[in-house]
């Protein structure tokens, strides 16, 4: 075999042979998918390389030097231990701000710290802010279904439609209270005014059941979109007693005009005219006014008749 002679096929094969991968030396078949949590993709981050090197050392008893060379990681990088930062100063200042200003969010807190000469990275401050659980809960806006207003027509019989609404006022000592007003649209009769510091949906239902025990349940009630009226308790009550709930459109109280006119008279005659020392006093004055409203006060919309007179006149005509 001298110069100029062509290579044999065997020599070309030997010359083009590639060395085996370092990972297969000494019988080690090192695959990234052998490590829990890793796919067959190439590991690029140092943490992933560190885990692969640990696997090679522990599972195959490879030396640290060889394991680091296999995963292309320096021995200094393999031995690196992350030092946990001391965030006590930031935590202390954030806690103090949150205690003094309950409604400040992250952006306002970060701006306040920066104005005070603390030039911490905003991403670091935000991480600590979240770890401390200082996030202000944003109440999601309730999405109401589309309301289709009905014309405000006076019914032709009792209990055809009741209008319900709430009002608010305060006692002499400043404690607030609420009123729950119920009106029969047929003769504008004030059926009841419930007064208390809290009037949840369960209390509203008890009042309606009390009224219905004396005069029966209405065919329909007209209400706004307050939380007491859109609750599951109210929906269940209406379903059990075959009562249709007619919601007005949000922000349009004129669609519940009968009870709104009643509210105006009640506020002018009672709430704005008296300074209540207790809830019992407010209830007593309200009860007396309601009796006068139904039996003495003439209503222009009823032909200057009282609600009681208007109802009794129609009953006598029908007979």
> Is residue 48 scored above 70 in pLDDT?
yes
Q: 224 near 247, Cβ under 8 Å?
A: yes
More confident residue, 87 or 202: 202
Residue located via tokens 């031995």: 79
- pLDDT tens sequence across 5-42: 444 444 444 445 544 444 444 444 455 444 444 455 55
Question: Which one, of 59, 57, 80, lies nearest residue 70 by Cα?
Answer: 57
Global pTM reads 0.58
Q: Count the Cβ atoms, other than its own, within 10 Å of residue 183.
A: 26
Q: Which residues lie below 8 Å from residue 41, measured CB to CB, with a gap of 6+?
A: 32
Give the β-pairing of 189-196 and 176-184: antiparallel
**Alpha-carbon gap, residue 43 to 39, rounded angstroms:** 9
pLDDT number for residue 314:
66
- pLDDT tens sequence across 218-237: 999 999 999 999 999 999 99
Q: Count the Cβ atoms, other than its own, within 10 Å of residue 184.
A: 23
- pLDDT tens sequence across 170-212: 999 999 999 999 999 999 999 999 999 999 999 999 999 999 9
Q: In the numeric block, which tokens belong to residue 185?
A: 């649209």
Q: Which residues lie below 8 Å from residue 13, measured CB to CB, with a gap of 6+?
A: none
CA distances (Å), 82 to each of 67, 78, 85, 250, in order? 21, 11, 9, 56
304: left (phi over 0), alpha (psi -120 to 50) or beta: left
Name the β-bridge partners of 178: 168, 196
> Is residue 70 scored above 60 in pLDDT?
yes
């Amino acid at each position: 075999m001298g110069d100029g002679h062509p290579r044999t096929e065997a020599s070309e094969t030997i010359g083009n042979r590639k060395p085996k991968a370092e990972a297969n030396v000494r019988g080690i078949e090192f695959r990234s998918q052998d490590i829990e949590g890793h796919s067959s993709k190439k590991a690029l981050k140092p943490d992933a390389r560190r885990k692969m090197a640990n696997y090679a050392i522990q599972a195959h008893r490879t030396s640290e030097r060889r394991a680091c060379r296999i995963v292309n990681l320096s021995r200094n990088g393999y031995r690196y231990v992350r030092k946990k930062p001391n965030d006590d100063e930031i935590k202390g200042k954030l806690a103090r701000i949150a205690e003094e200003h309950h409604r400040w969010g992250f952006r306002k807190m970060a701006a306040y710290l920066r104005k005070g000469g603390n030039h911490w990275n905003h991403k670091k401050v935000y991480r600590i802010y979240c770890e401390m659980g200082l996030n202000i809960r944003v109440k999601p806006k309730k999405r109401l279904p589309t309301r289709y207003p009905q014309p405000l027509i006076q019914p032709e019989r009792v209990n055809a439609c009741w209008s319900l609404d709430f009002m608010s006022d305060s006692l002499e000592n400043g404690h607030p209270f609420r009123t729950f007003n119920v009106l029969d649209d047929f003769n504008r009769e004030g059926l009841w005014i419930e007064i208390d510091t809290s009037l949840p949906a369960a209390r509203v239902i008890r009042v309606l059941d009390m009224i219905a025990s004396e005069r029966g349940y209405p065919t329909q009630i007209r209400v706004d979109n307050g939380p007491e009226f859109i609750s599951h308790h109210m929906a269940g009550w209406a379903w059990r007693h075959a009562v249709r709930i007619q919601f007005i459109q949000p922000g349009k109280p004129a669609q519940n005009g009968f009870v709104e006119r009643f509210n105006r008279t009640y506020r002018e005659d009672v709430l704005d005219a008296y300074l209540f020392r207790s809830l019992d006093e407010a209830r007593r004055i309200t009860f007396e006014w309601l009796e006068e409203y139904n039996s003495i006060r003439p209503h222009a919309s009823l032909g200057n008749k009282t609600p009681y007179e208007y109802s009794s006149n129609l009953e006598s005509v029908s007979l």
